[in-house]
Amino acid sequence: MAGRVLHRLETLFSIGGGPANRPGLSLAEQRAHDLAAGWMAEAGLEVAVDAVGNLVGRAPGSSPELPEVWTGSHLDTVPDGGRFDGALGVVAGLEAVTAARARAHARTIGVVAFRDEEGCRFGQGYFGSRALCGRLGPAELDMCDASGTSIRRALASLRLPPPLPGSSMQPLPGVFVELHIEQGTSLADRDLALGVVGEIVAMAGLTVRFSGERAHAGGTAMTQRRDALIAAARFVLGAHSLARSDTAWRATVGELTVHRPASNVIADEVTVGVDARARSDESLDRLVAGLREVADGSARQGGCAWEASLAWQEPAVSMNPSVSQALAEAAGEPAAQPIAATSWAGHDAAILAAAGIPAGMLFVRAGRAGVSHSPQETADAADIAMAIETLDRALTNLADGGLGSGQATAHLRVRPTGSQPARSGRQAKYQCSMSKLDRGCPILAGWNPAILVL
Ligand SMILES: [Zn+2]
């Protein structure tokens, strides 16, 4: 089962030649959705696509009128991304749904692939899950990527009609459980394979623009300059120092744009994109206020002006204790240790939770020091197999009996000894799957991903 998951993840990774480059609402993401739709149909699930291209495969329960139980994640990636972020939750989630559907269950079980979770292309992520929950902004469809293509046009090129802003595509699932690679080291540090997430941190995108004076690199004395890039550089270092002053904060400058750049011209305008995260909403407010102070000091020191705006903001979200309890019970090992696992990465589960849907998350340990958003991202086959079994049990219990009653918010499971997969075996699986894409997907031939609103 884990072997098939790794094989499919490699197939997705190889779209476009690898590393993974599947921007939201791109043809590459569409190709991944087409493949996943084929795998869902192959597993006997009822496949549907909504107005923004979210994909769901359903195994109807005996009482289809009851709220549905969904798992899933996203299939888009950051530039030069890895194999597991998002895709693991869809591909392994499909395995869990396929296993769970073999048993009688009252509620319909589904696996969903959300669109454009990463937000790298249009600047704001969670597009598919926000659309599902009716949280698209009124002007959002007119936001453009770097090449000037709007979301509206990108959707049209995928033959999807634009959704009505602010509308909610009913019915929403009654429960959502997202399986995801950890993208950190808290599990690996404790030699644990799985973790149940208690909370997802608050986060915001801050855009800071520094303005100076454009001037000649040779003719302008070093003491007479108003260099916007120097102000931005001071800010980058200051933001880093600020975030290091509190363990509840993280701040990253991963984007810096010099307008009309030239090596012999002093920069007059520089835009800095800051990703700010904190354990609580109040803490995030303090961090953002601190970043503004740093920007002010950095600009003043060099005689520059500055302005800052929040590009996006997501509140801290707690996972539903009963869903977490169901996951903990499904992990069900005596040696399990409840700990408060925190996700420093944003996930679609946070969007559904904020919309009032009971949501939980199951983390799988990441290898290679937790590296993610990188082709180096990895996870062990044994851990993935354990995650599928746990998710299968949790979905079955949730589909049969609804939510658990416990109050546990976090739970981890110890990896059994001797479960390390043979590295060479996995590499062989990767290699044998590299040519799969060229063969096309016969199940999808003639399948019209037309528009079935969820
Ligand atoms: Zn992800």
Compute the distance from residue 278 Cα to the ligand 1 centre, in Å.
18
**8-state DSSP, 84:** S
Encode pLDDT of 288-330 as tens digits. Answer: 999 999 999 999 999 999 999 998 898 999 999 899 888 888 8
Three-state secondary-structure class, residue 71: strand
What's the 85 CA to ligand 1 centre distance in angstroms? 5
What is the separation, in whole angstroms, between the first and last Cα of the chain?
Answer: 28
E-only strand ranges, 217-365: 249-258, 265-266, 269-278, 305-314, 317-318, 341-343, 359-364
Q: Give the mean pLDDT of 55-66.
A: 91
**Per-residue tokens: 394:** 């949790």
Q: How far is the CA of 308 from the centre of ligand 1 (A)?
A: 27
Q: Rounded to an integer, what distance in angstroms lies between the CA atom of residue 14 and that of residue 69?
A: 31
CA 266 to centroid of ligand 1, rounded, Å:
39
Q: Which residue has the higher pLDDT, 367 or 229?
A: 229
Residue 50: pLDDT band (50, 70, 90) is: confident
Over the stretch 12-23, which tens digit does the pLDDT of each residue have?
999 977 789 999
Rounded to a whole number, what is the largest CA-CA distance in the chain?
A: 80
How far is the C-alpha of 414 from the C-alpha of 193, rounded, in Å?
6
36 CB-side CA count, 13 A = 38
- What is the average per-residue pLDDT within 183-211? 91
Residue in the structure block whose two tokens are 């750049």:
261
pLDDT, the chain, mean:
84
- Kindly give the distance from the C-alpha atom of residue 73 to the centroid of ligand 1, in angstroms, as a whole number: 7
- Phi then psi dihedrals of residue 205, to 5 deg: -110, 120
Could you tell me the distance, in angstroms and rounded to a whole number, from the CA of residue 211 to the centre of ligand 1? 35
- Cα-to-centroid distance, 124 and ligand 1 (Å): 14
- Amino acid identity of 380? D
Is the pLDDT assigned to residue 396 strictly greater than 60?
yes
CA of 377 to the centre of ligand 1 (A): 12
Q: What is the pLDDT of residues 139-185, one digit of tens each?
A: 888 999 989 999 999 998 987 756 555 544 567 899 999 999 998 88
Give the tokens for residue 12: 């997705």
Share of the chain above pLDDT 70, in %: 84
Q: How confident is the model at residue 94 (pLDDT cuts 50, 70, 90)?
A: very high
Of residues 134, 128, 113, 103, the one with CA closest to residue 31: 113
Q: Which amino acid is at 204?
A: A
Rounded Cα gap, residues 112 and 167, in angstroms: 19
Q: Select from 88, 96, 80 the least CA-distant residue to 381.
A: 88
Rounded to whole angstroms, the Cα distance separating 62 from 106 reads: 5
pLDDT band at 103, cuts 50/70/90?
A: confident
The average pLDDT across 27-42 equals 95
Residue at token pair 């958003």: 373
Q: How far is the CA of 115 from the centre of ligand 1 (A)?
A: 11
pLDDT at residue 445, as a whole number: 25
Q: Domains of the chain (ranges plus CATH)?
A: 2-201+317-452 (3.40.630.10), 202-313 (3.30.70.360)
State which amino acid sits at residue 42. E
SS3 56: strand
Task: List CB contacts of 225: < 8 A, sequence separation 6 or more.
Answer: 212, 213, 215, 266, 302, 303
Does 117 have pLDDT greater than 70? yes
Q: What pLDDT, on the 0 to 100 scale, is given for residue 360?
A: 94
Q: pTM surpassing 0.75?
A: yes
Residue 297, token pair as written in the block: 């000091």
Query: Residue 412: is its pLDDT beyond 60?
Result: no
Task: Compute, in angstroms, the gap from residue 214 CA to the centroid of ligand 1.
Answer: 41
Q: Given pLDDT bands bounded at 50, 70 and 90, which one contains residue 259? A: very high
Amino acid 431: pLDDT: 20
What spacing in Å lies between the alpha carbon of 387 and ligand 1's midpoint?
Answer: 16
Cβ atoms within 10 Å of 440's Cβ, excluding its own? 12
Q: What is the pLDDT of residue 164?
A: 54
Query: Residue 229 Cα, ligand 1 centroid: separation in angstroms?
Result: 32
